[in-house]
Amino acid sequence: MGTMIELSASDGHSLGAYKAEPSGKAKGGVVVIQEIFGVNSHIKNLCEEFAKNGYVAIAPALFDRVEKNLELGYGQEDFGKGRDTRGALKNEGIIADTQAAIDEAAKSGKVGIVGYCFGGAVSWMGATQCSGLAAASTFYGGGIHASRTATPKCPVIFNFGDKDGGIPLNQVAEIKEAHPDIPCYVYDDAGHGFCCDDRESYNKGACERAHARTLALFGEHVG
């Protein structure tokens, strides 16, 4: 099992992060970016899965700037708390904290980033604004459409669900139009959060395909 560590951002902010390590020599590092529910059991489990595939996985607690150690479930109150907490964050802090996680992961080699929901948008932000990334995979990132004209610094893949009520297919089409060179995968019968097995929207087949593509991307560009 992984452990909680402390990271220091460039502006002096200290944040927690969950770190999972492989049993053998690491292929590289993967930064795993949370949904709006904090670094909860789902995100920690994802870190463990990337560690099983040979990567040092680090999930920075981006909500620490608002409330330390916040871990939420998936009830209505949790959704509201997550939305409010995310709304209190500023992009400058998000980028600084993500960069701190990248720098820590880089101690193990090249670094990829993957994010889900809120983290999907953050992984796109990282690909376009952070330094030191070799690849990025985004999962149902609602904020990507608004910043679709940004230019990534590393190879990227997009993963969306065709039944995502928060990211309509016309937005996905416009993201594709803005970046025709970036692979954009749309999964059938998949809603928002289709890779979270703690939510009703979980779609095992779509999640497995998306993660296989993510691991292939990291295998090619990270190690």
Active-site positions read: 117, 164, 192
Q: Residue written as tokens 């690849």? A: 135
Distance CA 218, CA 223 (A): 6
205 contact partners, CB below 8 Å, separation of at least 6:
none
> Residue 169: what are its φ and ψ, rounded to 5°?
-65, -25
- What is the spatial order of strands in the sheet that 184-187 belongs to? 3-8, 14-20, 55-60, 28-33, 111-116, 135-139, 156-161, 184-187
Distance CA 217, CA 156 (A): 8
81 contact partners, CB below 8 Å, separation of at least 6:
70, 72
Q: Where are the beta strands (DSSP E) in the chain?
A: 3-8, 14-20, 28-33, 55-60, 111-116, 135-139, 156-161, 184-187
Burial of 13 (0-12, 13-18, 19+ CB in 10 A): middle
63 contact partners, CB below 8 Å, separation of at least 6:
34, 38, 39, 70, 85, 86, 89
